[in-house]
Chains A and B, each alone.
Chain A
Amino acid sequence: MSVLELRSVSRSYGQGASKVAALSDVSMAVEAGELVAVMGSSGSGKSTLLTIAGTLEEASEGEVLIDGVAVATLSLDGRAALRRRRVGYVFQDFNLLSGLTAVENVAIPLELDGQARTSAHAAAMAVLDKLGLTALAGRFPDELSGGERQRTAIARAVVGERRLLLADEPTGALDSLNGEAVLRLLRQACRDGVAGVFVTHDGRLASRADRIIYLRDGHIIDESPAMLGPESLLTNDPRP
């Protein structure tokens, strides 16, 4: 069973003459452990695809299934619970809560889900430790660099028992070195069994995915396995 499945999903804004189709009849599936890159020009519908997949927006038509559960059948609170427990979201501009420290930011989905503060913080610290952020756990977002913020955001997206990791241009606000590091983390998360989808303009980064989906004017125009770049020679990437 696919972790994420989109069946003939369409999304339009406005009505009548001013109606704009952001997504048209998009179908795709992402399996556990798979990392998919979505590419396309501005306005092609990449972010809309991700927000619909992440239950942040509703599809006008079609069906979205996460872990086999049809999102349309869930209430608003049910979708929120799905986001807390199953879906992790990483944004281009980090979207960390400025009033909370790094560890509190990572722990908050667990705490919102009713987990005790101590156990939530312990889980958050474990993830931060894995990402090399232990020393920064007590810092507030405005005391972190861009790369550190994004790594914290990824930690928040993978904490708990997440099954789907969605990232909207996660390296857009980072330099190339930090961008690479972030991609490695996404890749690592997928190795741990998470299904990952990320949106990017950068073909070089997209090549690190298992599969690349190309969008234009809301349609999937191409879908291909990523080409291995020369950098793959320098890594132990187990991709075939």
Chain B
Amino acid sequence: MSRTAATRAVAHWAWRMFRRDWKGQALVLALLTVAVAVSSYGAAFGHAFAPNDQASFGSANARIRFTSADPAVAATVVSAARSKLGTVEEITDTLVAIPGSVQQLDLRSQNPHGVFGSSTLKLRAGRYPIGSGDIALTPAMSQFLGAPVGATVTLDAVTRQVVGLVENPTNLDDGFGLVSTPPAGSQTRFTLLVKASSGQLTAFGFAAKVPGGVAVDTPTYYSHDLGVLLVAALGMIVVSVIALTAFLVLAQRRVRQLGMLAAIGATRRQVRNVTVIHGLIVGVIAAVVGTVASAISWTATSSLIAQASGRRVSWDSVPLWLILTPALMGMVASAVAAWWPARAMARVPVARALSNRPLDPPRGPQSAVAAIGALTLGALCLRFAHQRNAFLMIIGLAAMISSSLLTTPLAIRALTAHSRRLPVTGRLAWRELGRNQSRSAAALATVTMAVGISSAAVVITAANTHPPTAGNLSARQILIPATDTRDPAVVPVRTASQTTALDHAAKQVATTLPKAALIPLSLAIDPAAPTSPIAQATGGQDAAQAVRQQGRRLTSYPLYVATPQLLKAFGIDPRQLDHFGYFAIDPTGTWSLLYSHRAPVPQPAPLHIHTYTSLPQVLVSPAVIEGHHWQMVRAGWLLQNPTPISAAEDRAARNLAAQVGLAVETRDPQAYLGRLRWMFTVGGIAITLAVIAIALVLVRIQTTRDQQILTAVGAPSRARRAIAAATATALATLGTLLGITGAYLTLLLAYSDTLHRLSNPPWPALTSIALGIPVLALSTTWFTTSRQPASINRPAIE
């Protein structure tokens, strides 16, 4: 006798039962599917946003960089690297001037099919350059140069034809022109990608004979993957609690059928396996559908994600284990959730099961006490996590979700208690929810989760939107930089006439804003500072820098010249220059000078006026510059308008700047956050309505007999509509209330150290959720419920 044959027979019946009664499990199936889809999408999202060095290293584990204008020296180093470290991929970067512009273009030579770096180069259009007369540009550079595919560009006295558009998919902000061979005789930065041990790298670094030496570095990988999966696992635990309730209801409905199986000789294990296998079937379907839904959602939102993360992350580039783990968790959560009801049902005496006497209702979970306990735990964890302690954050989040879900049975009971004063249809509807509390609470929990997740996402996008006093610039400012595009602390060397020409160009840009003040920005240059690699590569000069130490954290800032005009623009009395040598946005910490001086600097005077990251952060007085024998060079201009700059003015300034060879920076409107906010709003409403629709179908299946009786006693279709609408509206309103309250409470605790970030709630989106869900639930239910139930004489077939 084979145990496999018996298990197969049980599985066969479980599958048949699932197929016959799939509507009865639609809620738990939808819940698990959403959980798998959200976890899978979230894991991929976390993977996309985790900072890593793939953009520079590709699949290599180390990078050797040196700068040289002598091809013979470079060839010697590359040859040595190959003999000592094995496979080496060579990439060169040469900066060339863009005629008529202060900007420079990085001419890069890289093998598109390189062993390590192929993931950092992708062809978007046309072809890769082959000959010395070919060049492929990144889309941004193509636009900047006004050179589409087919056009010609002259750079460094060489005319090349644009043969294609390329990009670095791992860093979309990386602007360059791809050439087949580096320009001869220019100062070129060589990057050698290798896979080698730290010992090999150290030995090679010491032995390399390159003027200026070689820099060897290794990537730093930050992975959010495990953290995201941990959050997903906690979410699955919460979901499995709801699924457990649903499976309990299912098992209660099948008590007689399971009794029959036991009566014909099924063992307890076999009876138990029917429900467990059922749970597994639900889990497998949820895993497959959820993963597919996640992949489709990812594809649909990939352009937004690329815009927000600055890199392209295709679904197939997300590690397979990261996608499959949520699917596996969904299956396990479902099987585990089915285990307890399965065990309970297998223990029901056969005679009792055959008489269709259900299990005693589950003992009151002491919901109120448990909810308060979970709330307290969640509040404490989130409060003391200070947005840094990941462990406390995860525990706190799980506790807050549990607290919201534990509140749902109480909410259903409260609803039933207040049904007395309602008209008969409302009374029937609400009492029905109360009579089937397990199912109603599970439905309400699902609605609460859907609303809570979308509301939290909406509020988080608002919290991450820069307030008017923060961001890169204020809405009234335009920055015209004249520093190196890659390092704002390096300024190209210019003659006096070149600087005058640049000042003239900036004045032309300023004509687009007639009322704006044009404030020149200058950097203090420290001639004694060692030349940085970028300055070495570009022939630029390094700015003097101040270092702030806060605990173990060191931050360096280029020193801008504190001119009276700039101080005035920052709201500081220019007479302060007589008293202070340094001014800083954040003067806390211990300050000292970088490079040769390394002298402590007196506490800078505060510039408590803004937190704009693209503006000068530290200013130094001309007297100090003179004292250190530094120089002052033009580093850009700040255009300050009395009123916010309109989109048309922004466009005009950009166009004019491009014409005179400059680039401008304006306030980042973070449009993608707005799009994400509305995506979450609409998606949240749609998912919530779908969940309500499923819950409604379930409730109506269970109350078919009542509906038949109502019809028999002459209730019009209006009454049936009213009952369905009252049920849907109750679930929608309660779920919305609990979801938004829970989400906001959680975020208030999580952001308790930076509460100001929640000071601008996204009212339009939140109002759409709070009002839209109940109103849409009411109206769609009213207009879609009309069918008369089946004949009262037709007995239900078990």
Contact = CB atoms under 8 A, between A and B. Distances in A.
A228 to B, nearest CB: 33
A122 to B, nearest CB: 14
B675 interface: no
Contact of B13 (A76, A84, A97): A97
Given A76-B268, A77-B267, A98-B257, A112 B17 contact: no
Interface in B1-23: 1-6, 8-10, 12-13, 16-17, 19-20
A80 B5 contact: no
Interface string B770-798: 00000000000000000000000000011
A84 B261 CA distance: 10
A155 to B, nearest CB: 12
B6 A112 contact: yes
A116 B2 contact: yes
Contacts of B19: 99
A85 B266 CA distance: 11
Contacts of B257: 97-98
A111 interface: yes
B34 interface: no
Contacts of A117: 5, 8-9
Given A57-B349, A99-B13, A109 B264 contact: yes
A95 B260 contact: yes
A80 B265 contact: yes
Nearest to B256: A95
B110 interface: no
A115 B264 contact: no
Residue from B1, B3, B257, B269 having most chain A Cβ neighbours under 10 A: B1
B30 to A, nearest CB: 22
Interface string A47-82: 000010010110000000000000000001100111
Interface in B483-525: none
Given A111-B5, A112-B9, A114-B2, A80 B16 contact: no
Contact of B264 (A84, A116, A142): A84
Contacts, number: 103
B6 to A, nearest CB: 5
Contacts of B245: none
Nearest to B269: A77
A116 B19 CA distance: 24
A142 B263 contact: no
Contacts of A108: 9, 13, 261, 264
Contacts of A104: 12-13
B354 A80 contact: no
B2 A112 contact: no
Contacts of A89: 263-264
Given A85-B265, A142-B797, A113 B6 contact: yes
B3 A113 contact: no
A57 B350 CA distance: 7
B20 A99 contact: yes
Nearest to B355: A47
A77 B6 CA distance: 14
B351 interface: yes
Interface string B345-366: 0000111001000000000000
B6 A114 contact: yes
A81 B354 CA distance: 19
B265 A91 contact: no
B738 to A, nearest CB: 37
A74 to B, nearest CB: 12
B13 A100 contact: yes
A97 B264 CA distance: 11
A11 to B, nearest CB: 10
Given A57-B350, A76-B268, A114 B263 contact: no
A97 B261 CA distance: 8
B16 to A, nearest CB: 3
A114 B349 contact: no
A165 to B, nearest CB: 13
A115 B262 contact: no
Contacts of B5: 111, 114-117, 120
B142 interface: no
B138 interface: no
B109 interface: no
A76 B263 CA distance: 12
A163 interface: no
A83 interface: yes
Q: For the complex of A and B, list the 7 residue pairs with the smallest distance between their C-beta atoms, beginning with the closest.
A: A84-B265, A114-B1, A99-B16, A111-B9, A83-B265, A56-B350, A142-B797
Given A80-B262, A112-B266, A117-B9, 12 more contacts: A83-B263, A95-B256, A95-B260, A95-B263, A97-B13, A98-B20, A99-B17, A108-B264, A111-B9, A112-B270, A141-B797, A156-B264
